[in-house]
Chain A
């Protein structure tokens, strides 16, 4: 949760201030990683950061192990669902691991 990090107030860093946006976002920033790129696609159904507002199960904050196992089992067909098998089959082991880690950290 970066915005809540302790903030020592020191010195004058004008350059950084110029890049500061007065229209401040309240939500956490996300790092531009491959894991984020893969996982953001899931948000259209599972909600931003995996927090679903409705009928589709939330995955944000579930353990990495749980998500990784679920995706692998959807891919192999061991676990059956409606649409997840059709999605999971597109991802490699490594990609599944990255997605699981992303959502396990609540983002």
Chain B
């Protein structure tokens, strides 16, 4: 008997004008749609095509090809924050970190709509778009990433960020910061001011310091980089400090919040950051990363707690505030998992499994979650932190005696291999999420 591809099979179906024994080609799960409680042709709408939303869309279609998935994403190109620090360091260009949605559309049959969701009507199970359109859903997944608390720092708002960039969402902000670094004189001062916890990508500011130091060392070696932190310690700190001493001796100075007092206000016109003690810190380039909260749509939809993040059932990622609405990625409160692209990808898969199980009325396997964050201290100097997580008493917790950071006593070869794997990780996660 000849073998038929799905596409050919559909053509034949069309020609025959009949609707045939589809259950024979549907995967086991799709067949499960005949079970009591199962919902045939469920519609899932996903808001936000970043690491969380894109992965959830792809894996949902893989688990359950009978489910109709619509991904609503504002931008036609997704510019990743991961590896945006390498653009600042001059290792890669913007194209390297820009990706489109053709893979999700062509290979996975996901309907991609480029628009913004302005409103969620959880009672009517409907979202509204800026073009006036509406989309009905059986389940809604929200993965909007972060927004900034523009009221948190005196003298700093969205407009000011055009000249004092945060570059904590990749795109024009990344380009602005890169241009400022290029324009800076040799012997100049760069300030990076990271926020307190929790925030997107805990090791990110320190990888950024490393990549900027790499650029300065190779082009403007008399310059200095000052990290004025809100915190008194940070992710992978001993490893970063060790790497800075090895690669950029004397160039990077980090000062913890208690020591310098934290941010009092910004005088953007004079590129001066004042501490809470009113001590001025003047720089040629200031990269001010403000405190964060769940993306705006999560607030508009009433999905946030008093801290501005979205509480969820950590097994399925269903919101504890609205039924049939799921929140994944940076916006969610996900136990011990950090806010990372890797974590968002992992959560997207768990949420996809929960939705496939729900609509096919089968049991969801016990969830498993993973995170690994690579940081480049130099182009050939990588470090990592890894974690495997399970659900314990309703909370995502790190599995005991596993995970952790790269060894502090590793040799150059080890750091080189991890730098290579950092690049490999980026290639893999981009294709696993968008391809």
Please give the residue numbers on chain A whose beta carbons come within 8 Å of chain B beta carbons, in ascending order. Answer: 2-21, 23-34, 36-38, 40-48, 52-56, 82-83, 86-87, 89-91
In the bound assembly, the distance between CA atoms of A29 and B346 in angstroms comes to 18
**C-alpha spacing A107/B259, complex, angstroms:** 52
A45-B429, A47-B431 in contact; A20/B66 too (CB < 8 A)?
yes
Give the nearest-CB partner of A14 in chain B: B19
Do B68 and A24 touch across chains, with their CB atoms under 8 A apart? no
Q: When each residue 19-50 of chain B gets 1 if its CB lies under 8 Å from chain A and 0 otherwise, what string results?
A: 11111111111100110000011000000000
Given contacts A12-B18, A82-B384, contact A25 B368 (CB under 8 A): no
Contact B2 A6 (CB under 8 A): yes
- B399 pairs with A32, CB closer than 8 A: no
Query: Chain A residues near B110 (CB, 8 Å)?
Result: 23
Decide: A13 and B20 in contact? CB cutoff 8 A.
yes
Contact A2 B27 (CB under 8 A): yes
Residue of A nearest to B400 (CB): A90
CA distance A21 to B63 in the complex (A): 14
B20 pairs with A9, CB closer than 8 A: yes
Q: Is the interface of A mostly helix, strand, loop or mixed?
A: loop
* Sample of 16 A–B contacts (CB below 8 Å): A4-B4, A5-B25, A9-B20, A13-B22, A14-B19, A17-B22, A19-B41, A26-B107, A27-B107, A32-B356, A36-B353, A41-B369, A46-B428, A52-B428, A53-B428, A83-B384
With both beta carbons as reference points, the residue of chain A lying nearest to B370 in the complex is identified as A41
Q: Chain A residues near B365 (CB, 8 Å)? A: 32-34, 36-37
* CB of B108 within 8 Å of the partner chain: yes
Question: In the complex, what distance in Å separates the CA atom of A56 from the CA atom of B41?
Answer: 37
Residues of chain B contacted by A4 (CB below 8 angstroms): 3-5
**Given A21-B66, A31-B27: A44 touches B20 (CB 8 Å cut-off):** no
- Using Cβ atoms and an 8 Å threshold, which residues of chain B touch A46? 428
Given A25-B62, A54-B423: A86 in contact with B23 (beta carbons within 8 A): no
Is A44 touching B372 in the complex (CB atoms < 8 A)?
A: yes
Q: B19, A7: Cβ atoms under 8 Å?
A: no
- B159 beta carbon closer than 8 Å to chain A: no
State which of B6, B367, B404 has its C-beta within 8 Å of the C-beta of A86.
B404
Beyond A23-B111, A30-B27, A55-B423: 15 further Cβ-contacts under 8 Å?
Answer: A18-B41, A19-B26, A24-B109, A28-B62, A31-B27, A32-B63, A32-B360, A37-B350, A37-B353, A45-B429, A52-B427, A53-B431, A54-B427, A82-B417, A87-B386
At the interface, yes or no: B349 with Cβ under 8 Å from chain A? yes
Task: Tell yes or no: B306 within 8 A of A by CB.
Answer: no
Q: List residues of chain A with CB within 8 A of the CB of B68.
A: 21, 23
Chain A residue nearest in CB terms to B33: A19
Chain B residues bordering chain A, tally (CB within 8 A): 86
Q: Which residues of A contact B30 (CB under 8 A)?
A: 19, 29
CB pair B26 A26 closer than 8 Å: no
In the complex, what residues of A have CB within 8 A of residue B406's CB?
A: 82-83
How far is it, in angstroms, between the C-alpha of A26 and the C-alpha of B356 when the chains are bound? 18
0/1 interface trace, chain B 395-435, chain A, CB 8 Å (1 if under): 00001011110100000001001101101111111011001
Q: A32-B357, A86-B404 are in contact. Are A37 and B2 (CB under 8 A)?
A: no
Give the distance in Å from the alpha carbon of A14 to the alpha carbon of B29 in the complex. Answer: 18
In the bound complex, CA of A51 to CA of B19 (Å) = 35
Alpha-carbon separation in the docked complex, A27 to B19 (Å)? 22
B59 in the interface (beta carbon within 8 A): yes
CB <8 Å contact, A83 and B111: no
- Is B319 located at the chain interface by the 8 A CB criterion? no
A2-B25, A45-B424 known; A16 and B19 CB under 8 Å? yes
- In the bound complex, CA of A82 to CA of B425 (Å): 13
Query: CA A6 – CA B21 in complex, angstroms?
Result: 12
Pairs of residues from A and B, 8 with the lowest C-beta to C-beta distance, nearest first:
A55-B424, A54-B427, A90-B388, A23-B109, A90-B402, A56-B424, A17-B19, A29-B27
Contact A32 to B353, CB < 8 A, known contacts A23-B109, A25-B61: yes
Q: Is the Cβ of B108 less than 8 Å from the Cβ of A27? A: yes
Instruction: Write out the residue numbers on chain B whose beta carbons fall within 8 Å of the beta carbon of A44.
Output: 342, 345-346, 370, 372, 425, 428-429, 432
B307 in contact (CB, < 8 A): no
Produce 1/0 per residue, B55-70, CB < 8 A to A.
0000101111111100
Q: Give the docked Cα–Cα distance between A20 and B42 (Å).
A: 10
Cβ of B106 under 8 Å from chain A: yes
By the criterion CB–CB under 8 Å, are A6 and B3 in contact? Answer: yes
Query: How many angstroms between the C-alpha atoms of A25 and B366 in the bound complex?
Result: 26
